Structures are given as structure tokens and as C-alpha cells.
Structure 1
């Protein structure tokens, strides 16, 4: 399924979400403009490598790369898919959390996703890049905060595609199930198709848990609805 847009209009301008998309696009353009030799050197310098991190977890470059890798992408389809999901679902999560709270949430989701990927692939020397882990946290939070929101989605039916409004709990629930089973199949071996599925799983679960805590906190203190 390919989501196109959701039905919920944000009450305020999603400043942080828009800036995150812009930064990701700018970084990708810079990667693309570099010569192939330079691009590969930049990849190994700023991408996250699980094995390197475990060998020296407090080394500055390894800590830095947890964050720099979040804004790098392996190709145009990688970037486009991630930014599409962030554009559709991120504005509403930012609306609920507030600008600063959303930025903190996004980064925490990305860091947690990276650590889960490291735990499940401790010997991997493959450079890992992409905003997928952080965006997966956004999807998890959206599922908790807006489960019944309808998402306009392309659904494959044989050789054709149909456009339907589907509840978010189905769209995002099916997305997570696909990531989970793909992640289970990848255990004990390389990532299926070069995709860090456990980063997606870790980010999504982090988003769900933080959103549950957020809803509980907001219910207890209704006069303070922003972090």
C-alpha cells in the first residue's frame, strides 16, 4: 500500500517537520553532487556502522554518526519514500507534541532505532544510512494518537491499483507487520534486500510507547498539552 495523504489538517504550521524534510533533501543533493569517489568517502565517514560503534561506543565520530546517518540516503527512491511518509504523518505528530517536543521525539526515535539495529546486527560492517528509523517512530506515534484517521492509499489489486481511504490503524499496522516478519527472516544473516528492518521495528515500538506515555501525561495534565 502506498499512502498519499491523511484527512487530519494540522492546526499549526509544521515548522520542524518541514525543516527535517528540507535538510534531508539538501544532504541528499550534496551527496549526489559529489564525485563517486568523494561520495563513497563521505558515506564511510558519516554513515553508521554497528561493528565500529560497538568497538568504540564513546568515540566521538561513532556517536556523531548516529545522528548524521539519519539525514543521509542511499538513493532517490530511498529518500522519496521516507519523505513521503514523513510529510503525510509527521505534521500531525508535531501538532500534538509541539515543535521542540517533536524534534526531541524524532531524534530519540532515530537513536533508539539505530541501537536496536546494532543489537540485532552487532557484526555488521555495512554503512547504515536513512531517516527510516526516526520516521518509523513517527508512524508508531501517529498510530496511537490518530488510529481512526483515514489515509488515502493506493492499494494493489492484481495488475491494477485502486485508491481508497483506509483507517490509519490498518495502513500502519500492516506496515509494521511487514517490517516485523521481514526482520525475523533477516535474523542470523544480512539484512533482506539491504534494509535495516530492525531499525524500523525499534523506531516504531519506541514511537508507540512514547505516544502512550504522552497521552497518559496529557490526560493527567490537560492544561499542559505540549512538551
Structure 2
């Protein structure tokens, strides 16, 4: 329903969001590499670097003995199933990531992003403990960025593509757009969905981001500001 296009929330503490754009660039390059692989090798890569609950929890031996099993709690966030999966995640990171990098600083933002990815993966594992399917995608980490944005800048205006009859750009407060997104995740968790999307990873990521940004933000960055 709501596709974010950009926000009206300038950065103030960094000259350029190097980490945000670096994450977008690296993740895109990884998918470009994935996309040139034959289907069998594409699948092998996903199995090796995706987060498999029974592997991370040491219930079974991992498919890649040379890769520490718990490291896949990070590597899974740089893999994607297809172009739409990648583009949606990177669009959300592009819209919201620069302000969170601005609020945390470059190094802490990178640590924050990776922690959100790991905690989102653990949330997925907690509700799919015996799962053999690999979790991939930056959705959990990006959800953490969105959770942080909701805590720091709930009143910032976000231009979203809203469709009634035809798509139109519409400025709305961030808490409306992000609140609707969270509500969607909760809905699918409650009704139970078998579409292959890890709704628990999304919820785990957004909770992790909302909590982590409080101690990790710069001094002087107020909570619930962004008017």
C-alpha cells in the first residue's frame, strides 16, 4: 500500500552516509554475482551462506565446514532471492538509513545494522527452531533501521507512493507509514502465512532497532523528535 520514495529529514552530523550507500553497493554486487550463477550454484550459495536454524543451533552439521555456522547470522543479510526482493530492501535502506547513520555515526551504524541482522535471524530461528530452509535477505536488518527511525523521527515527513486509482506521491508522518508496515507484519504473524516470508525476522529486526538505537545514538539526539 505504501512504498517510500524519500523523506524530508536532512542529515546534520555526517557529510555523507558512506556506510548506508556502501551497504547498498555491497549487497547489490553480491546479488549481481548470484544472478550470473547457474541455478544449481545459486542454490548452493544460498544454502551455504543463508541462515539455517538447525545449523545455527547446532542440531545438524552445516553444509559449509569452512564457514562458522553462527557467521551466517550476518551473511544471510547480503543474499536475495530475486531482483524485487533486493530492490524493495535497498529502497527502504536508502530512504531511512542515512538519518540513522547520521544519528549514530558511521562505525556505530555499521555495528547497529549487523546486530539487527543477527537479532532478526535469531527471532526467525526462535519461531522456526527445527527449520531446514535457509533465511536470506536484508529485510531483518532494514527493519532494524526502520525501528530506529520510528523511535528517533516519528514525525518526519516521508513521501510514499500511495495508490487509490492511480499511484500518487503523498507526504505522511513516518509513524503512520512505519506503523502501517508493522501492523502488516503483525497481521501475517497472527493469521499465519505460508508465503515464505519470515515475518518474525521483520518483527525481531524492528524491535532490535528500536531498542539498540537508544543507547547507541549520539549525545544530543532526542527520542521521538523529527518534527
- The TM-score, its normalising length taken from structure 2, stands at 0.89
Write the distance in 1 (CA, Å) between the matches of 2:55 and 2:19: 31
> Does structure 2 retain, via aligned residues, the 8 Å contact 1:138–1:204?
yes
1:22 corresponds to 2:41: no
1:147 corresponds to 2:124: no
Write the distance in 1 (CA, Å) between the matches of 2:113 and 2:194: 25
> Does structure 1 retain, via aligned residues, the 8 Å contact 2:81–2:137?
yes
- Superimposed CA distance per residue, residues 52-81 of structure 1 (whole angstroms, 9 cap, x where no aligned partner): 222359975311211111100000000000
Gaps of 5+ in 2: 223-227
Write the distance in 2 (CA, Å) between the matches of 1:143 and 1:179: 15
Q: Secondary structure at the match of 2:161?
A: strand
**What does residue 218 of structure 1 align with?**
219
Q: Secondary structure at the match of 2:131?
A: coil
> Does structure 2 retain, via aligned residues, the 8 Å contact 1:10–1:92?
yes
> Does structure 2 retain, via aligned residues, the 8 Å contact 1:56–1:62?
no
Write the distance in 1 (CA, Å) between the matches of 2:74 and 2:58: 18
> Does structure 2 retain, via aligned residues, the 8 Å contact 1:57–1:63?
no
Deviation at 1:22, TM superposition (A): 0.4
- Superimposed CA distance per residue, residues 17-69 of structure 1 (whole angstroms, 9 cap, x where no aligned partner): 11100000000000001111211111111111112222359975311211111
Write the distance in 2 (CA, Å) between the matches of 1:58 and 1:98: 38
Deviation at 1:208, TM superposition (A): 0.9
**What does residue 39 of structure 2 align with?**
36
Write the distance in 2 (CA, Å) between the matches of 1:211 and 1:48: 24
Deviation at 1:213, TM superposition (A): 3.4
1:135 corresponds to 2:142: yes
Q: 1:82 to 1:71 in 2, by over 3 A?
A: same
Write the distance in 2 (CA, Å) between the matches of 1:117 and 1:143: 22
Write the distance in 2 (CA, Å) between the matches of 1:185 and 1:114: 21
**What does residue 225 of structure 2 align with?**
none
**What does residue 225 of structure 1 align with?**
none
**What does residue 81 of structure 1 align with?**
88
Structure 1 vs Structure 2 CA RMSD: 2.0
> Does structure 1 retain, via aligned residues, the 8 Å contact 2:7–2:156?
yes
**What does residue 207 of structure 2 align with?**
205
Deviation at 1:161, TM superposition (A): 2.2
